[in-house]
Every structure is written in C-alpha cells, then in structure tokens.
Structure 1
Amino acid sequence: MNILVTGATGFVGRAVVTKLLALGHTVFAVSRSGTDVAGAKGIAADLTNLGSVQRAFGAAQVGVALGAVVHLIGIITEKGAQTFQAVHVEATRNVLASTPREARYLHMSALGADPASLSGYSRSKGEAEGLVRQSGLAWTIFRPSLIFGLGDDFFGSTLKQLVSLPPVVPQIGDGLFPFRPVSIRDVATAFAEALTLPQATGQAYTLTGPQEYTFRQLLELELKAVGKNKPIVSVPLFLMNLAVPLMGVLPNPPITKDQYLMLKAGNTGDPEPARTALSLPMDRLEDHLSEIVRASK
C-alpha cells in the first residue's frame, strides 16, 4: 500500500514509518524539513497552509494512488505561529481536504481530547477529532496516553530532569493522579494493524499500557532508573495554582498552564479494546525505563 505519513520526522512518526516499511508498504514522509525517514522519501510541507499540503499530496501521487494517510503532527507547547489551533485543527482540516476520498485515514489524537476542555491542547485535539468524524473518510482515531520509548520527551527528558536537577523531587499535590503509559512499539503496531482491519474503520481507540501508575509511582520509578536517592516533597495545589501562571512569563517555563491542567487530570484508560482488536504487544514501562534514561542526553 502507498501511504503518506505527516509528522514523519517526530518521535512517533519515525516509529510508524519504520513499522510500515518493514511490512512492505511504500511510505512518503511529510515534514516541514522534507527529510527522508528510515528509507522513506521525504516531502516538505507546511500543513497549516492548504496549498502546501495539496502540493505535498500531489508529489506523493505521481503515477500512484494513495491507499492511506496517517496524520501524526502535533505539538505539546505553543510557540509563535505554531499554536494548538493552527497545528491541531487547521492542519487537520487541510490534510482531510487533501486526502483522496477512497483512502484510509488514521488520526493521532490524545487521551483527554475534548472540545470543551479547559486545556488548549486537549480542546484543539477534540476539535480536530470532530473534523475527522465529519470528513466522510474511512477514518480511525487513536488516543494514546504518555508514550515511552528511546528518544521520548517525557521519560527521557522532562521527568529525568525533574528527578535529577533539584536537590529534592517536587511532587504536585498528593501525587495520586493516574497514568497508564503506552510503549512506542504498541502505538506503531496499532497504526499498522488498523490499516488493513475493516472493523477498525469508524473506531476511536484508547492506547494505554498494561499497568496504571500514580504520578508519585512514576517519580519513584524514574529515580530508580537514574540511580538517585532523593526525597520526594509534595507541593500543595494552592501553591502550584499561584506559581504556574507566574512561570508562564519565562522563556522556557518548567511547566505550562496546559501541562499543569493535563497533569492534574491524569492520563489513563482501558487498554483492552485496542489490545484485543489490534493484537498489541503491551510492553511494560519497567522493562524499558532504564534503557530510555541511559540513552537520553
């Protein structure tokens, strides 16, 4: 099958492209840079610009029809023109408009996606899901939890710095917010399996791992993985509520308002529907965390 993948140079994009190539598909890797990915031909595009998207789709269909589009582009923090509305909503609108009507369409959303959310990230993801559902395409939506794997931003960077840099490890509130991290291998497998599974059409799958953790448990696991023994100190929510908006004026705040809202909401869900339908391997965080933190800078 000939498949176009957006966000192909990102953490998830590289894993999905690699998986699709291993299964014998022909992949076109769309990104702002147009870099080739794992042997897939790179195509440059600004997905927030409809004309640029249409040219990219045209380049991928010279003498060949697209059988599927995998839309993965996303951001965690806003920067300049790269806003949640532009990247998650308008880019999705442009990709949907450019996707051949007969092609399969697989969409990367997020747990907590909700057009009524107080979080700009979750709200924009929810709005994008609405566009997908109304598109008339043969779509499948995926809502992953925190994704772990070599090169991930959360366990390999954000959480590692949180437990490594300060003399004590700050814990937000009581630390009981629930999370169910999912491996990058499970995510890539889910996208690949859904392509050829008729019953996956019109479905929205939660992608979570085999075990649920509290935020405090994640801090403890990360401390163990980096080989440090530090006290974990609770920061009351009323102090966080005051501090987070003040941090927002910094060039690179340690936590943004959006990230704080999502952290307090937790990030968990039932893994069984996706595991059963898509034959997911269900990798465990504990089996990979040490390797992740060792490999990260």
Structure 2
Amino acid sequence: MKILVTGGTGFVGTAIVKELISRGHQVWAGSREGKQGGAGQAIKLDVTNPASVLSAVAQADPDAVVHLVGIIAEKGAQTFQAVHVDGTRHVLAAVPRGARYVHMSALGADVNSKSGYSASKGSAEALVKASGLRYTIFQPSLVFGVGDDFFGRVLRELVSTAPIVPQIGDGTFPFRPVSVQDVAQAFAGAAESETGAGETYALTGPQEYTFRQLLEMELSALGKKKPIVAVPIVLMNLAVPMMNLLPNPPITKDQYAMLKAGNTAPNEPAKTVFDLPMLKLPEHLPEIVAAAKG
C-alpha cells in the first residue's frame, strides 16, 4: 500500500513510519519542512496550509492517510485551533474518498474540556466522524519511549530542577502510559486493513500508576533520592499562570489541566483487536532518561 503520514518525522510519527515500512508498505513521511527526518520518503506537508496538503496528497496518491500532526503548547500562529481543528479539516478534505484514514487524537479529547488541547482534539474528532471516510480514531495516553517529551523532558526536569520534588495535590491522579511501539503497531494495523473501521479506541498500557508513583519511578530511573513534597492545588492554581509568563514555562496551563484530570482508560479492546505487545514502563524508563541526559 501507499501510505501518507502527516507528522511523519516526529517522535510517534517516526515509529509508525518504521513499522509501516517493516510491513512492506511504501510510506511518505510528511513534515512542514519536507526534510528527511527518519525512514520513509520525505514530503513537504503543512496541515495549516490547504494548498500544501493537497499537493502532498496528489504527490503521494495514498491508499491510506495517517494523520498525526499535533502540538502540546501553542506558539504564535501554531494554535490548537489552527493545527488540531483546521489542520484536520484540511487533511480530511484532501484524502481520496476511497482511502483509509487513521487519526491521532488523545485520551481525554472532549469539546467541553477545560484544557484547550483536549477541547481542540475533541473538535477534530467530530470532524473525522462527520467526514464520510473509512476512519479509525486512536486516543493514546502518555506515550513513552526513547525521545518522548513527557518522561524524557517534562517529568525529568520536574524531579531534577529543585532540591525537592513538587507533587501536585495528593498525587493520586491516575495515568496509564502506553509504549510508542504499541502505538505504532495499532496505527499500522488499522492503516493496512479494515480492522477498526468506524471505531474509536483508547490506547493505554498494561498498568495504571498514580502521579506520585510516576515521580518515584522517574527519581529511581535517574538514580536520585529527593523528598517529594505535596503542593496544595490552591497554590498550584496560582503558581502555574505565573510560570506561564516565562518564555519556556516548566509546565503549561493546558498540561497542568490535563495532569489534574488524569489520563487513564482500559487497554481493551485495542489490545486484542490489534494484538498489541503491551510493553511495560518500568522496564524502559531507565533507557528513556539515560538517552534524554545524553
């Protein structure tokens, strides 16, 4: 099959492109710059530009499109509305009507969410479901693997920066991280077949952890011993907006809202439908933080 992957040079995109190629598919890896960032044939594709999307689709002439492009924080013209909602609209309009379409959403996607990120993901899902395409939507939890942003940067900086480790509230918010290998296998399975057509799947790992447990695991993987100190929610509610006045805040308002909401769901039926290996976070976290330090 000929498969076009938007965001094909990012952390998740690179893993999915490699998985598709390993299955014998011809893959185009789209990015705004059109630069070779990994496996697959590089192609210029800016989802915020309808003409760029149409050009990439015409060049690839795909049997399937995997749409991954997303941002964690807004910057300039790269807003959640422009990238997640309008970008998805542009891609949906360009996808050949007979092609398979696989969409990257996020666990917690909800148009009514207090998080701008999650709300925009919910709006994008609505567009997909109304598109008339043979779609499958995946909603991953925190995705872990070498090069990930959360365990390799956000959580690592949180436990490394100060003499103590700040814990948001009572630290009981639940999470169920999923490996990038599991995510890649699920997306590839959906793109190459009719499996899951018309369905929405949560993508989560084999075990649930509290936020405090994640902090303890990150400290252990880094070989650090520090006290974990609970910071009352009321204080965090005041501190986070002030942090966001910094050029590169340690945590954005949207990330904070998502942390408080937790990020978990059962790993079925995706685990069975796509025969996922269910890799475990503790076995891979030391490698993730070691690579991030390097």
| The one of 271, 278, 283 aligned to 1:282 | 278
**Residue number in structure 2 paired with 1:29:** 29
Residue deviations 1:68-120 (CA, integer Å, cap 9, x gap): 00000000000000000000000100000000000000000000000111110
| The one of 212, 219, 225 aligned to 1:216 | 212
Q: Give 1:239-254 correspondences, 5 Å limit.
A: 239-254=235-250
Q: Shift in Å at residue 161 of structure 1?
A: 1.2
Q: Shift in Å at residue 195 of structure 1?
A: 2.3
**Residue number in structure 1 paired with 2:203:** 207
Secondary structure at 2:85's aligned position in 1? helix
Secondary structure at 1:259's aligned position in 2? helix
Residue deviations 1:202-227 (CA, integer Å, cap 9, x gap): 01010000000000000000000000
| The one of 284, 289, 292 aligned to 2:288 | 292
1:103 and 2:82 equivalent?
Answer: no
**Residue number in structure 1 paired with 2:251:** 255
User: What is the distance in 1 between the residues matched to 2:97 and 2:197?
Assistant: 14
**Residue number in structure 2 paired with 1:113:** 109
| The one of 63, 77, 87 aligned to 1:67 | 63
Secondary structure at 1:245's aligned position in 2? helix
Q: Shift in Å at residue 37 of structure 1?
A: 4.3
User: Which AA in structure 2 matches 1:128?
Assistant: A
**Residue number in structure 2 paired with 1:153:** 149
User: What is the distance in 2 between the residues matched to 1:285 and 1:264?
Assistant: 21
Structure 1 unaligned residues grouped into runs of 5+: none
CA RMSD of aligned residues (A): 0.9
Q: Normalised by the size of structure 2, how large is the TM-score?
A: 0.98
**Residue number in structure 2 paired with 1:143:** 139
**Residue number in structure 2 paired with 1:88:** 84
Q: Normalised by the size of structure 1, how large is the TM-score?
A: 0.97
1:179 and 2:175 equivalent?
Answer: yes
User: Which AA in structure 2 matches 1:47?
Assistant: V
Structure 2 unaligned residues grouped into runs of 5+: none
User: Which aligned runs of 4 or more in structure 1 are off by greater than 4 angstroms?
Assistant: none
Alignment identity in percent?
A: 65
**Residue number in structure 2 paired with 1:233:** 229
Q: Shift in Å at residue 197 of structure 1?
A: 3.9
Report the number of matched residues.
293
Contact 1:17 1:37 in 2 (8 A): no
**Residue number in structure 1 paired with 2:122:** 126
Residue deviations 1:24-62 (CA, integer Å, cap 9, x gap): 00001110111224441111122111111111111213x
**Residue number in structure 2 paired with 1:55:** 55
User: Which AA in structure 2 matches 1:7?
Assistant: G
User: Which AA in structure 2 matches 1:161?
Assistant: E
Secondary structure at 1:59's aligned position in 2? helix
User: What is the distance in 1 between the residues matched to 2:32 and 2:2?
Assistant: 20
